[in-house]
Structure 1
Amino acid sequence: MIVLNEVLIGLLGLFITLIIQAILLAYWLGKKFTRIDERFIRVDQRLERILHVLSDGEFIHYLVYVNNCFLIKLCSKVNY
């Protein structure tokens, strides 16, 4: 009878440990997926801004500006 009680206590402890581990894993995964969702939302907002700029036609002017700045920096480093 004493051995049976010890076995039941051991099984109950194992069962409680498994339940707690499942709860902690679910909590941890929930936090991770929440962060991933937030990052997807930020990426989506950035893409929306880029598409808005592309639709306005200002993106081409921005690329020309960036290219000119790069060429100016490149030419200023060349020794004649």
Structure 2
Amino acid sequence: MGANPGRRDAWPRPRRARFVWVRAVGKQHPRPGLVIAWRRHGTSWEALVTYLDDSKRDPQLVQRWVDARQMSPVWADPNETGW
């Protein structure tokens, strides 16, 4: 498969967004995250998300359960050639 796949060779578009913006608490900027898993929590959903917390001097990789209302999906098309 080449750098610009044809329609027949194109990868399928993901059904779910795996990349998200995680809204931080307070006035901190949102952080890009990767969804690892989903679970139901009462009447809402939570995602196990990994993201980089760079709010302190030493950035830390964080993995935690985040309420779905604290995230915004980032849709990525693997067929785009923006690189």
TM-score range for the pair, normalised by the shorter chain length: under 0.3
TM-score where L is the length of structure 1: 0.19
Q: Which has the higher contact order (CA 8 A, sep 6+)?
A: 2
Larger Rg: 1 or 2?
1
